[in-house]
Amino acid sequence: MEIKNTLSKSPVLAHYNAKLPLVLSVDSSAYGLGAVLPHKYNDGSERPISCASRTLNEAERNYSQIDKEALAIVFGVTKHHQYIYGRRFIIRSDHRALSYIFGKNKGIPQTAASRLQRYAVRLAAYNFDIEFVPSNKNCVADALSRLPLEYTKQVYEQDCYSYLNFVEDKLPVTFNQIKKNTRTDTQLNRIIGFVKFGWPDSLQIVNDKIYFSKKDSLFLEHGCLVWGYRVVIPSSLRATVLNELHSGHIGVVKMKQLARNYLWWEGLDADIERVCRDCSACASQRDQPPPAPLHSWAWPTEPWERLNIDFLGPFRNKYYLVIIDAHSKWLEVDNVSSTSAAAVIHSLRKIFARFGLPKSIVRPVRMDLHFHPQNI
C-alpha cells in the first residue's frame, strides 16, 4: 500500500502532456501482467503518467511465454488507450522476438500463431515503434507484473478461447476427445507439465527434444496442447485423423498442406507418406515407372574381341552352341550333346584352338556358365 501511494503522488506521478513523447513499458511474469506509461523529458528522465497490472486467469497462465509477453503489450495499450490513441509512441518489451514480430520492418509472419495474429490486428489501430530492452532496464513493469492487481473476470476473459472452436469444424475429432486422449498420452502429459511449470535446461528423453525446440510456441488451450496455430494430436487419435485426411484419396502434397493448417505431431509427414504408399486404390492409379533405357555395347575395334554366345534348341532333339563375333559378324555353330558347362567348355576349346582367345564373352543371363576364356 505504501508503494501504491508513492506511485500515485508527486513527484513520481506526472500530468499528461500532449507535447511530450510517450513510452509504454510492459512485462509479463508467470502469473501477472504489468504496464507503465511514462513521459520522456528532454534531459532523458522519465516520469510515469499511469501504472497498471493484473493477474493472469487460469487459461492465460497456460500460454507460452511469447504469448504472455504479447498479451502484456495488448493489456498496456488497451489500458492506456485514452493517452496513446492517435499519436505515435514507443513500446518497450524485454522479449526480443516481439520486436521483430510487431516491428514495422518485417511485420507479422504468416506462420505466426493465430493468437499473435489477432493481437497484431488489434494493435494495427495504433501508431507505435517497438524496441527491445534488457530485463534489468525494465524494472518498473517487471515489478508490477510480479505484484499484480487481482484479476477481474468480466473484463479480461475475451481472448481465452475461440481458436479450438474454429479448428474443431475442420477435424474429425472434437477438442474434448483430444483433451481426453491427451491425458492418457504419456509423452504429451510430460510436455504439458513442462509448459505449465517450466522447461528444464536439457531433456534426457530423445523423443521430447523436438518439443523442446518448439517450447516458445507451445501452450495449453481447453486442456489441449497447441503449437502455434496447430493442435498437437495424441497418438491414439492419429489414425482417425489420417483416414479423414486421405478420405478423398488426395496426394501426399495436398495432404501435407491440409494437415499443416490445423494439426501437428512428431513424424506427421512420414505418416502421411506411409498412408498414401499403402493405399491400394491410390496404387492402382499411380503412374508406372519409366522403362529402363536400352544398353548399347561399344563397337569392338578388331575381330574376335568380343563374342556373343547362346544356345539354339532343342531342334530335332539336338542343341547347338551359336557363337557370333561382334566385330565381323562371323558365325560359328557347334553341335553339343547337352547344355552343361562341361559340354560348352569342350566346344569352346575346339573353336579357340582355331581362332585364338577372345578378350571377352557375352552370354545371356540364363546361361549358368562360370568360366573365363583364359581358363579354357
What HEC string does 134-194 produce? CHHHCHHHHHHHHCCCCCCCCCCCCCCCCHHHHHHHHCCCCHHHHHHHHHCCHHHHHHHHH
Give the per-residue pLDDT at 116: 80
pLDDT of residue 369: 42
Mean pLDDT of 139-168: 59
**Predicted confidence (pLDDT) at residue 255 exceeds the cutoff of 80:** yes
User: Please, where in the chain does CATH 3.30.420.10 lie?
Assistant: 2-146, 306-375
CA-CA distance, 4 to 115, in Å (whole number)?
33
- What pLDDT does residue 73 have? 92
Whether the pLDDT of residue 371 is over 50: the answer is no
pLDDT of residue 169: 59
pLDDT in tens, 278-309: 888 888 877 777 887 877 788 888 888 888 88
Question: Residue 207: which residues within 8 A CB-CB, separation 6 or more?
Answer: 187, 266
Distance CA 156, CA 305 (A): 91
Half-sphere exposure at residue 301, Cβ-oriented, CA atoms within 13 angstroms? 0
**CB-CB neighbours of 238 under 10 Å:** 16
Query: What burial letters (b/e) apply to 99-116, b meaning 16+ CB within 10 Å?
Result: bebbbeeeebeeebbebb
For residues 333 and 281, the answer to whether their CB atoms sit within 8 Å is no
Q: What is the pLDDT confidence band of residue 158, given thresholds at 50, 70 and 90? A: very low
Bridge partners, 352 (sequence order) = none
**Multiple choice CATH, 163-284, 3.50.50.60, 3.90.1150.10, 1.10.340.70, 1.20.1050.140:** 1.10.340.70
Provide, rounded to the nearest whole percent, the portion of the chain with pLDDT above 90: 5
Q: What is the pLDDT of residue 370?
A: 40
Residue type, 169: D
- Angstrom CA distances, 296 to 73, 146, 293, 299, 300, stand at 72, 80, 9, 9, 12
CA distances from 50 to 130, 138, 141 (A): 19, 15, 11
Does domain 306-375 fall under CATH 3.30.420.10? My reply is yes
- Domain(s) of CATH 1.10.340.70: residues in the chain: 163-284
Task: Tell how strand 224-227 and strand 218-221 pair up.
Answer: antiparallel
Of 7 and 270, the one with more pLDDT: 270
Q: How open is the CA angle 162-163-164, to the nearest 5 degrees? A: 100
What pLDDT was estimated at residue 75?
Answer: 92
Per residue in 93-129, pLDDT (tens digit) is 888 888 777 877 656 665 556 778 788 878 888 889 8
pLDDT tens digits for range 317-368:
888 989 998 888 889 888 888 888 888 888 889 888 888 888 888 876 554 4
**What is the reported pTM?**
0.43
Which CATH number applies to 2-146: 3.90.660.10, 3.30.420.10, 3.50.50.60, 3.40.50.410? Answer: 3.30.420.10
Closest CA to 235 of 182, 281, 313, 283: 182
Per-residue model confidence (pLDDT) at position 149:
60
Average pLDDT, the chain: 80
Residue 159 pLDDT level (bands cut at 50, 70, 90): very low
Closest CA to 309 of 273, 345, 265: 345
* Lowest-pLDDT choice from 56-65, 71-80, 136-145, 179-188: 136-145
Residue 24's pLDDT band, with cuts at 50, 70 and 90, is very high
SS3 1: coil
Listed range (55-64, 147-156, 170-179, 181-190) with the worst mean pLDDT:
147-156
Contact 214, 191 (CB under 8 A): no
In Å, how far from its chain's centre is CA 357? 64
* pLDDT at position 367: 44
